Chains A and B, each alone.
Chain A
Amino acid sequence: MFQRQLRHLLLATLCLLVLQAQAAVSWRDIAAGDTDDRVAALRNALLESNPRLQPFVQALLDDKVRVSPAGVWIVEGEAVRDFAADQVAVLPADAEEVSNNNRMRRELGVALAVLQLRSPKLAQREQAVQVLQEQADIKHQAMIEQAWLHEINEPLKEQLQTLRASLLLDAPLVADRILAAKWLAAQGSPKVSALLEARLAAETEPAVRAQLSLAIGQVKSQLDWGERLGLLFAGLSLGSILLLAALGLAITYGLMGVINMAHGELMMVGAYATYLVQQGFKAWLPGLFDYYLLLAVPMAFLVTAAVGALLERTVVRWLYGRPLETLLATFGISLVLMQAVRSLFGAQNVAVENPAWLSGGWAVMSNLTLPFNRLAIIVFAALVLGAVAWALSRTRLGLFVRGVTQNRAMASCTGVNTARIDTLAFALGSGIAGLAGCALSQIGNVGPDLGQSYIVDSFLVVVTGGVGQLAGTVWAAMGLGLINKGLEGWAGAVLAKIIVLVAVVAFIQKRPSGLFALKGRSAEA
């Protein structure tokens, strides 16, 4: 009986305390006065758990608060409320707008984030953690601690833990600091590394120092791995793009010996075909927009293959065996194609959007995210390579192409329609350029100059790899991609490119027929 009474009493006192605490929040102190005082008032208010603080902070951030000596008012369009009394009121004549300087705004943002940590919505909590990662300090520790204890979403709990640990690094207790360092050691992000370093510089306790150095070492090695893998991935990605760009050339130039300077423009045609398909889906099938690539890939192939066939029939055909003339004529074609696209679509880049499943990336490590569109291109390049290899070695067309390449007269004698094979092979090579253009549209700008930036690179790949060799093309593309990205790390993008160009030029001096030179009689032709 007595116990129950006591409990009631306690409860009542507690309620009273809470009520008092609620009453203790002075809205006016947060809204008006010197910035230092306002910040202090805001931070004090944060320690109370007044549910009305969040809307108030939000209103402050939205510039809806007015102050007068008598109190604070929230102006919502025409409606005015006395905030302290929480009732409709008339705005007094001496009410002024609250102006927040940058510091106050930042402070309000952090406060809002802290308050949002308790939000029932996961997205809001995630956003709050993101804000706090940038701006929290030790004063918010208690709230973050609370939020961490109550968080049920695992990844978010982990983020909160990291946040908590990074705050604890500056905690007064040695044990807290050591614990924090231990936890952070497993978090390989550049920010954590900087945090640890900063703490190490300020730390005097030897035990903590040792733990910090250890943690820094671990974080560094994690980061290094992330960087190395990232570089490897970037190299592979560039390599697969080069491979796509060069594969078509490996057929037209490598097998047929046609110098096609318009190859880059055929890629551009493929990219624009993708753009058109995308526009079509937007206009007529918006529900299926995510699948537009399924149609865009074959369309890009067919359109460019048709353009290629047309070019072969009208121009290239008459120049077989005269490589320098072919070079000039196809360069002329590239100018015409470029200008045609410019006249049709304008000189500006057009926007090709990724379907939803290609945007975003796979976060492997804190400093290593593999974008889905780049991953897709690597897979796509492998598929195209497989298809080309299969087409050349297993199909009748491939057999004829190889036959005509090796001995035109003999192929003709055995009944192969060599002229038709020439057209088909050129169309195939062009179509692959179109596929490359379709792939490029997913990662870069699509404009009339798209092909220009790839033509030199793709020729270098074919020339380095050796003419008439698919394997050589693959090795050269991947090698050039990896070397280029590897050099970019310490030389910068442009210098890396120049070094690669010069290296290739030097390499060709040494091995004029490329990595995989043809041997025997055909090598002399």
Chain B
Amino acid sequence: MSAVLPSVVIDKSNSSLVASRLLRWWQVLLALWVITMLVPFLNLWVPDGHWLHVSDYLVSLLGKMLCYAMCALALDLIWGYTGILSLGHGLFFALGGYAMGMYLMREAAGPGALPAFMVFLDWKALPWHWALSDSLVVQLLLVLVAPGLLAWVFGYFAFRSRIKGVYFSIITQALTYAAMLLFFRNETGFGGNNGFTDFKSLAGVPLAEPTTRLWLFVISGCVLIAFYLLARWIVGSKFGRLLQAIRDAESRVMFTGYDPLRYKLAIWVLSALMCGVAGALYVLQVGIINPSEMSTAASIEMAVWVAVGGRATLVGPILGAFFVNGTKSVFTVLWPEAWLFVLGGLFIVVTLFLPNGLLGLLKSLKRRVKP
């Protein structure tokens, strides 16, 4: 019952200070690098049927997971390190995806032609927000600007009014829900419930080609590595320490003369940008984006990736995203009805028994083996 607890709760179990090094940072980097390089190799040069062969399906699955891992990392920066749980990261992810999708739809339709869904709706002209959608540069900028701007405006007002904790989570959820309703409408010009699909090429390069897919996979891997390094740099910097201080005792940070608003806003916008990029790469590899990415459940699932992997660590979220989505793929093939039980169970088990996630579990196991 929070009403009687003191307003400053220092949850030591979250603090990265407690976390002993399970993996050195260069080991993580190496692992990511090896995956990024090895998967295309195993797909292309190991013959089909060989036990080491990575199928096209697996490549696209892993590529998807790389994007999810970016989201998890982004969410970890804001939740794990700054203590702000966002239930709206699905929105930023989808915005990035939609910005990319707009360009792909235009290219699939051909120069001057309307995207298929607009023809279907019997529209005669492009809506205003599609005006520059035939330019790849503009749309790539929009991948950053759309989530970034929304995050900045929303974050500015929210943090200025010092909305925190659960209140913040709920209003991010409401915002995402509102956006989902908006994108479901045909009038808003984002393809209604079907969203965007049937992409053909990116700047003339056909997307269905196996080599294009591998390139996209490699690019996603590299972006994830870049994000990991960026996050590592931020967490280690003074800025990162301030964020953690805000998480643990915001009032004290204020009393020592810092304005938490600026720091919170900065990491919030950065996190949204990372999600937007992840969304764009996701759309390129998966070939579809629709409003269900903005559903309440989609955003909360991101939180569970982080929680399962281990909050306030940088490897944790990446690990969690791979673990949860890997399990999901296995279950949806073998036993689809059971997946929601497993996912729901994960939520409960992780929060009740594994406050530091899988990483924490591994650490304590290691400690037990080598006291």
Contacts and interface: CB of A to CB of B under 8 A. Distances in A.
B1 A339 contact: no
Interface string A468-512: 100000000000000000000000001101100110111011101
Contacts of A494: 181-182, 184-185
A335 B343 contact: yes
Nearest to A319: B351
Contacts of B157: 506, 509
Nearest to B339: A339
A455 interface: yes
A190 interface: no
Nearest to B164: A512
Nearest to A253: B166
A159 interface: no
B138 interface: no
Contact of B174 (A320, A501, A525): A501
Given A336-B345, A494-B184, A505 B171 contact: yes
A324 interface: yes
Interface string B190-203: 00000000000000
B33 interface: no
Contact of B300 (A320, A328, A498, A504): A328
Contacts of A505: 171, 174-175, 178
Interface in B142-160: 157-158, 160
Nearest to A468: B3
Contacts of B181: 494, 497-498, 501
SS class of chain B's interface: helix, strand, loop or mixed? helix
A523 B360 CA distance: 35
B1 A257 contact: yes
Interface string B290-330: 00000011001001100100000000000000000000000
A509 B184 CA distance: 26
Contact of B343 (A332, A406, A407, A463): A332
A452 interface: yes
Contacts of A322: 11
A504 B2 CA distance: 24
B116 interface: no
B10 to A, nearest CB: 12
Contact of B2 (A257, A334, A407, A508): A257
A494 B347 CA distance: 31
Contacts of A259: 166, 169-170
Given A318-B352, A320-B1, A512 B167 contact: yes
Given A338-B340, A455-B296, 14 more contacts: A257-B2, A318-B352, A332-B348, A333-B344, A333-B348, A335-B341, A335-B343, A405-B3, A459-B170, A463-B171, A498-B181, A504-B171, A508-B163, A509-B157
Interface of A: 256-257, 259, 261, 315, 318-329, 331-336, 338-340, 342-343, 404-409, 422, 452, 455-456, 459-460, 463, 468, 494-495, 497-498, 501-502, 504-506, 508-510, 512, 522, 524-525
The 6 residue pairs across chains A and B that have the minimum distance between CB atoms: A332-B347, A335-B344, A336-B344, A339-B340, A501-B178, A257-B2
